[in-house]
Each structure stands twice: as C-alpha cells, then as structure tokens.
Structure 1
C-alpha cells in the first residue's frame, strides 16, 4: 500500500472537499485501477432498487437492504464494477462498498496504526460511543488502539482460554445452567403430556451466553434468573437504542437530556443504569483476581476500563448469540446435518480442544454458519491518505483520502464465483457444510477461503477464541440434548449491531431419549 505526500489542500480542513465538488458534480470517478468501482446514483426513481443507498429513519433497521441497493443490477455488469460500487455526493467524501473478497482482504490487511494505513471508520459506531464512551478498543484508532489491543491480548488469547482448568469452569457453569433448563423443560412436557415444545431459542441462548461471560470469563457472582430476567432485557434495549441513536440522534444529545421529554428515553435511562450495575459487578471481581482478570496485565484504574468492559459485554453478547442462534437455525432446517453433528458429539463427554478437533463436520457447520450468515455483516474502514491497494491476484485499486469504506462481508460470502458450485460444489446462497470438505480435498489455501466471520488482519475481533469456545459448547450441547426442527422453512435475517434469525430461532424441540437419564446427574456437553 502506497500513499502520496500531503499537499497544501490536504492541510486545510474542508478545502479538499470544496476542491472535489466540481469533479463530483460532473460525475468523474475518483477511483482508479483494475478494481475501479462503478458509481451508484443517490436518487434513482423507477429503478426498482430496494431502498436509498444510505441509512435514514425509514430504513435504518434494514441495513442489508441498503447494501443490496449498491449492487442492484450488478449481475448485468462484467467488469470490476460488478462487485465494487461507490456513492459520491457533492461536498462529502465518497463511500466505497465492496463485495470483492480479494479487495476486502487487501484493505483489512492494510488496516493499522502506521501512517497511510486504513483506520476503522468510526461513523457507524457513534451510537456505541455515546452509550459506552469513546475511549474503547472498538472506537479508537492509531497508537491508542494499539496500546489497548496489547493489553487485551493476554486474557483473550488461546493461551489463556484453551487451558484445562478454564474449560472446566465454562463446562461446570454450563452444566449447572443446562440442568436447570432441562428440568424445567421436562417438567413442562410431563405436565402438558406433550412430546415436543415450540419455543424461540434466542432468549435462552442470550441468558446462557451472558452467564458464561460474566461468571466464567470475569468471575462475577450473579444469579441466573437475574441475568435472564433483568440484565438480558436491559442489554437488548440498550443495543436497540444504540442502532436507533446512530442514525436519528444527529445532535448527539445524551439519554439523560432526552429522558426529560420521552418515556422511551426514560426506559433507556433505566436500562443504562442496569448496564452500569452489571459493569460494576464485573469490575468488583477484578480486585479479587477472579476469572480471567488474573491474566489482565494492567494497573489502569477501573474508570479507565469501564468503556471497554461495556463494549465487551454488549458486543460479545451480540456476536456469540448471533453465531449460536444462526447455527441452531440452520441445523433446524437441515435434519441430515443435525444428525451428523449429533453422531460426532454424542460420544464426547469432556469438552476440550482435542475433542472438538475430532468433530470435523461440526467444525464445518460452524464455518458454514459464519460464511452464510456472519454476525458482522459489514466492516467499516476509512482511507487516511490517497492510497493504492493490491489484491492477492495482482489487481489494484486507487482510493482517495477520506473515503468511507463498507466491506460488505454478507454479500461477498454469497458471490457465486468465489463460493458457488464451480468453486465449492454447492450454490453460494445455501447452507452446505459439505462445501468445506470439498475445499479441503482441493487443497485450497486458507487465504482463499476467508469468510471474515471475525474480521481479518490487525483489527481481527479480540474475542474470536472466546466466541468459538462458547458457541461450540452451546451448539454442541444443544444438538446432544435435543432433536429440533424449524417452525417455518423461511429463514430471513434481521440486522442491527449484528445479524440474527428474524424469527427469534423459533424451533420445535423434544428431548433426545439418551438425554433424560444423563440430565439427572450432569447433562452431557460437546
């Protein structure tokens, strides 16, 4: 990646935008290279596009449709514009949207804190920053981000998480909670004389994920019922507020100010108080050295950690819940895949990295889940200089300074050329774990099969290993305990901070016969 030297225009704030206005009015493409994107019109009446190509109060709850708008009619193109599009509105920096996997990988690789590298674009995270603080690993860039990333490395790394005693703590917490849930389910089925129950699984998954996060990772002591009935609903509403606030609160007014005029914001104010209480409980366990706090190598005061703890609590809950519910949702619609996973996990009684490694088809199911329905459906970046990126296949793109970049992971993972029948043996837009077996037989390199489920490069998600640990445990155990099917075959997505099944993962489930005697002692887990 190369960047040009600064100019007189660059050194005067706002002048660069003014100079670019004539070019923007004339529709002159500011990009260049082999991957040069095609321009998207701001307004296109009669085009049949799904929506406008930017978030506004009428469409902000449908971000995937906004991304689809950029590629409306793209299949008719043969050049680089088929997978690379841009919006250029006079007076504003251009917006580049790409679903080209090679371009996505090149930009993620060139993201960092060195001069001329890409930053994480903070514009889509303004609501998160107002809710948690700006001094976070998520919102920061440059040297400050690098320092925080180094601090987070110890507790989040494989070395800390993938230890026998750590697995035992997660497993024991999970066994206790599952036993409680299983006893309630069995009692319900017996009292109603039913063999199966139809329920949305997402609320149970969220409570379970938050308990493992708070109890096992942070070592805080908190009753499960309080987690499920108080903190999970409060966090759900906080996250919904964050999504709305990012788009509609252009003045940046605080919840405390808005609560004076609206009942909705008074509820948000109460939810933020619950969020603060949960954060306090987590920080209290730090001083006891509980959980993975003992791995945290920093003497920073608690107040300097609050924002990051909040981001982690909300972000990890969102991402792991998305990952687990999508996996269960897909398996509910593919009974053959569900039974193959069951055959692998049925004989596993002790959760460990070695046992998980042996369940290869289960691993393919999880990879396919992240490919087809990633939690992080786009990754935001911003060009800090006029620069050129080169893809692994030798193509290039010149990107002007200030460009807002949306790396459209959701649609990149559905491009037929990359993931379709010719390349993998299965259509790109269907759930087919067997495609990963085909890719392995072909000897495809990992860089050619990146699904960007946790991002990539220097700013890869720091909670990747924790997420893999929790989701493998939860989904493996769910398959081992229950036989389940989807209430409907349609499986649309809803998207906000992350994506999830729109139906709340509504399934019909029944206990597997072998789960009943085990549950009286300790439920088996994957």
Structure 2
C-alpha cells in the first residue's frame, strides 16, 4: 500500500467507506454549510496545474506546489470555494485544504484531546516518528499528547524564560556565543582582504541556533567545531531522510533494521548514532540541575525524555534557522528596513526583556517574516467524528469524520483577500513591516490578526517563546554588526520539514 493510499484510507472504517461510496461515485460534496469547499480533480491533464494534489516520489521535494495545485484557478471563483478545496476519491477519506484564515483558526482552536475535537494528523510526520520515536509532542495524540505537553510547558514557557535571573543567565551565555560567532565572521572578512565578502549564512545560522539550544538552554558544553563539523551535518542528513522516508518508505520498515550494505544506509546509521550522541549530551546536565533543567518539573526517567529531546533538537535546528534566515534574507533585500532595525538596536549593549520590547520595529520585522514566509507552512489535522466548525464571523462548515485537513498557512498569508492592500494596507506578497503599524492604527487587535507562524490553539508550538527570544537576539546582533545585501533579487522558497530561502541566504556583507 502506498503512503498516499495510507494517507487517504487509514482513518475511514470499512463500513463508512462503503456507506460513502455512492456519494463519492456521483461526486456529491461530503461537506455542508456556508463555507462549502469546491472539489479538486485527482488528475486534470491540460489544466496547467503545477502538480498532482498529493505527495509522491517525484514531487515531494516541492510541497508548496502540491498545496498550490488545490487552488489552481481558484481566484477566478467567487464564494467559499475560492479558499476551500477538497479531494474525494471513492473508497478513501476526503482531504480538505483551506487557505481561509477563519476556518484555519476555527479548526486549530478546536484541536485537542477531548471527545470530538480535531486531532493532529500524524501521517505527514511518520518519517519523524521513525527517526525520533512516536512518544513525542510532535506525533502523539489524545491523552498521550496532553501528558507530553504538560511536561514541556514549564521550561519553555514565557514566564520561565523571562524571569530576571533566568533571562540574564541566558542573555550572558548568548552574548558569549554570538560574540564568538561574529568574531569568526569578522576574521573571515579580514582574511579575505576585501571590504565585503559573499557568504551563505544558513550554515552559520544553523550552528548558532544549535549552540544556543544545546549549551545555553540545556547547559551542555559542546564546542563550536563539534557542532559545525559533526552534529549539524548529521542532523541535516537526518532531517532530509525524515522527509524522503515519509513518502518513499511504502512498507514502513524501520531503516535501522536494514543492514548497512549500501553507502546511503551506512551513512544514515552513522548520522543516527551522532543524533543519539547529541541527545545524550543535552540530557547529561539534567543530573546537575543546570540551565533550564532546573525548571523541568517532572520525575520522568531519562529514557522517557529521549524522543522529545530529539524532536526539540531537530525542530529547533529547522524552525529557528528558518525564522532567522528568512528575517535576514528579507532585510538583505530591504535596506531601508535594515537601517531602521539598526537604529533601534545599535545602542543595546545589555539584553533584557525590556530592551527587546523597546525594539518595536524589529518585532514588526519578525512578525512580517512569519506572515510572509512561515516556517510551518501548513498545519495537519484530522476529524475524529462528524463535526461542525464555526468561524469568528459566524460562518459554518460541516466536516465528515476521518477527513484529512491541511490548514494552508502559506497561501492564506499571501492572498490579497486576507493580507492585501484593502485588508492590511500593503500588497500581500510584499515584505512590509509597516503593515503591522497600519493594522494597529486601524484598531485591529493582535489576537485577531493571526499569521499562524507558530501554529495556533492547543497545538501551538511549545518552543514559541524560546524561538522568538533566540531569533530576536540573533537577528538584532547581526544587524548591529554588519551591513548586508542579497546577491539575488528574487527570494524563492524551498520547503521540507520547514521553509527556507532557496539561495541559502546568500548575501554580500561588510562590517559597520
């Protein structure tokens, strides 16, 4: 059975598949309400559609185009089908894809462990489960997810991170980390013998982000060289393997059980060993109650924490690298915005919650980054029973049990109807940090203007506050030290577990 077949059929019991078959054969819409989605064809030759509307081995490297395929030609429509589409194949569960912020918010809010709520659809993350274990925040559902969420809440919460003593400790270790990394960039620039140097910043950002997590957050002591030369490359390959394993591993065979006869499997086993070693390194300081381990309120044995630690390590490398590189990439193409951030951060020498809060334009830049180029470009959900959802403005949609749901944040945030000139003062596909001042001036409350950059509702990313803190510190310090401009005018995305600039954040930079 292919992953796509498994994706469509796993949640639909046999009797329900048979009962729904007549309606499917006659293409009768299984949804109801005044947000009725429009049906998408499985195959549509000659339409110019960018991709087939499901992942397979030839298109899984470009998932954004798979999402685009659902809305091919949708802008010519009026009504709810403009932003809500579905795929319904006889014998399988329907797939709903929505770029309607109201529906996204309603479904995300109604996600949880209670009877009848939406669950996170685990099928897009089976590769992650094979690499890190199923007992994690990212994969578990129901009561198991709630237990994992409770354990993680304290050390990652804003209250913990912004306690004066805790924040000062983090800021001090951050200062050491970033000053060392910036000094390396200074030396690179000096050794080049030129005033400017061309560099891809993504590899540097990855090391900084992993170093901040392992050493500053968890209290480990791992050298820059080890992180740069061993752990980051291994994690990059593990993450690439996770993406391909989700689509290509049709039989679901754990690759760890395969003999290392091929170079690919042998390398995967070495990378997995490095991942295990790194996980043990960040777990070791728990015994000494170092760093944020002292905020960890759980008597769970170390062995029970390994899977979630792996998720945090891989997730931090992906999500915070995405967030920071996109922010730098946008500023590299917008010198006026870069200069405005510099004017706000140039005199910040001691990082405190108050000094970060005072950099209001930097905050707008980061919000605009998450709106235009979110790391989490879709949120997967699954209907556990026949469910009606109601949007904040009173619209309703009936979603049948077993439906696979893709909340398409990427395209919702880039559509003129939701974030364009009429709605937000600036074109939706334009990087415009001033958009947030415009919205505030128009009386739009932050809680009503959601970019879903960290998800939303009970399943919001548990590392949200840590990610915001890390990226704010890194981007602010980088702008304070360097002037930089993009080498390529265009700024396309590449997507896998998260999105990143396709050019690896290629810039030409100089010291200020």
TM over 0.5: yes
Please tell me whether the aligned partners of residues 259 and 269 of structure 1 are also in contact (alpha carbons under 8 angstroms). no
Q: How much has 1:401 moved relative to structure 2?
A: 0.1
Q: How much has 1:196 moved relative to structure 2?
A: 0.7
Q: How much has 1:174 moved relative to structure 2?
A: 2.9
Q: How much has 1:47 moved relative to structure 2?
A: 0.4
Q: 2:8 is matched with which residue? A: none
Structure 2: tracts of 5 or more residues without a match: 1-10
Q: 2:374 is matched with which residue? A: 374
Q: 1:30 is matched with which residue? A: 30
Q: 2:4 is matched with which residue? A: none
Q: Which moves more between the two structures, 400-409 or 150-159?
A: 150-159
Matches within 5 A, 1:61-100: 61-100=61-100
Please tell me whether the aligned partners of residues 181 and 208 of structure 2 are also in contact (alpha carbons under 8 angstroms). no
Matches within 5 A, 1:103-118: 103-118=103-118
Q: How much has 1:185 moved relative to structure 2?
A: 3.2
Please tell me whether the aligned partners of residues 380 and 405 of structure 1 are also in contact (alpha carbons under 8 angstroms). yes
Q: How much has 1:168 moved relative to structure 2?
A: 2.8
Q: 1:156 is matched with which residue? A: 156
Q: 1:282 is matched with which residue? A: 282
Q: Which moves more between the two structures, 214-223 or 51-60?
A: 214-223
Matches within 5 A, 1:385-396: 385-396=385-396
Change (3 A) 1:354 1:385: same
Please tell me whether the aligned partners of residues 127 and 242 of structure 2 are also in contact (alpha carbons under 8 angstroms). yes
Q: 1:491 is matched with which residue? A: 491
Deviation sequence 1:295-335 (CA, Å, 0-9, x none): 11111111111111101110121110100000000000000
**Structure 1 Cα separation of the partners of residues 192 and 468 of structure 2:** 36
Please tell me whether the aligned partners of residues 137 and 308 of structure 1 are also in contact (alpha carbons under 8 angstroms). yes
Q: Which moves more between the two structures, 215-224 or 380-389?
A: 215-224
**Does 2:500 match 1:504?**
no
**Structure 2 Cα separation of the partners of residues 12 and 107 of structure 1:** 20
**Structure 2 Cα separation of the partners of residues 380 and 190 of structure 1:** 47
**Structure 1 Cα separation of the partners of residues 456 and 263 of structure 2:** 41
**Does 2:445 match 1:470?**
no
SS at match of 1:287: helix
Q: 2:169 is matched with which residue? A: 169
Deviation sequence 1:187-236 (CA, Å, 0-9, x none): 33333320011000011111001011001111111111101111011000
Q: How much has 1:19 moved relative to structure 2?
A: 1.8
Deviation sequence 1:271-298 (CA, Å, 0-9, x none): 0000000111111111111111111111
**Structure 2 Cα separation of the partners of residues 112 and 122 of structure 1:** 14
SS at match of 1:398: strand
Q: How much has 1:250 moved relative to structure 2?
A: 1.5
Q: 2:412 is matched with which residue? A: 412
Change (3 A) 1:471 1:259: farther
SS at match of 2:97: strand
Change (3 A) 1:189 1:460: closer
Q: How much has 1:180 moved relative to structure 2?
A: 2.9
**Structure 2 Cα separation of the partners of residues 172 and 334 of structure 1:** 30
Q: Which moves more between the two structures, 297-306 or 471-480?
A: 297-306
Matches within 5 A, 1:231-380: 231-380=231-380
Deviation sequence 1:369-392 (CA, Å, 0-9, x none): 000000000000000000100001
**Structure 1 Cα separation of the partners of residues 141 and 253 of structure 2:** 24
Q: 2:136 is matched with which residue? A: 136
Q: How much has 1:489 moved relative to structure 2?
A: 0.7
Q: How much has 1:58 moved relative to structure 2?
A: 0.2
SS at match of 2:33: coil
SS at match of 1:405: strand
**Structure 2 Cα separation of the partners of residues 12 and 478 of structure 1:** 50
Q: How much has 1:258 moved relative to structure 2?
A: 3.6
Q: How much has 1:157 moved relative to structure 2?
A: 0.6
Q: How much has 1:146 moved relative to structure 2?
A: 1.1
Please tell me whether the aligned partners of residues 12 and 402 of structure 2 are also in contact (alpha carbons under 8 angstroms). no
SS at match of 1:126: helix
Q: 1:401 is matched with which residue? A: 401
Q: How much has 1:184 moved relative to structure 2?
A: 3.2
TM-score if structure 2 supplies the norm length?
0.96
TM-score if structure 1 supplies the norm length?
0.94
Deviation sequence 1:468-526 (CA, Å, 0-9, x none): 000000000000000000011110000000000001001101111xxxxxxxxxxxxxx
Please tell me whether the aligned partners of residues 12 and 92 of structure 2 are also in contact (alpha carbons under 8 angstroms). no
Change (3 A) 1:190 1:387: closer
- Between the two proteins, the alignment pairs up a number of residues equal to 502
Q: How much has 1:259 moved relative to structure 2?
A: 4.4
**Structure 2 Cα separation of the partners of residues 181 and 353 of structure 1:** 23
Q: How much has 1:131 moved relative to structure 2?
A: 0.4
SS at match of 1:485: strand
**Structure 2 Cα separation of the partners of residues 80 and 143 of structure 1:** 34
Q: 2:219 is matched with which residue? A: 219
Please tell me whether the aligned partners of residues 335 and 485 of structure 1 are also in contact (alpha carbons under 8 angstroms). yes
Please tell me whether the aligned partners of residues 54 and 66 of structure 2 are also in contact (alpha carbons under 8 angstroms). yes
Change (3 A) 1:384 1:195: same
**Does 2:192 match 1:187?**
no
Alignment RMSD: 1.3
Q: How much has 1:429 moved relative to structure 2?
A: 0.6
**Structure 1 Cα separation of the partners of residues 129 and 166 of structure 2:** 32
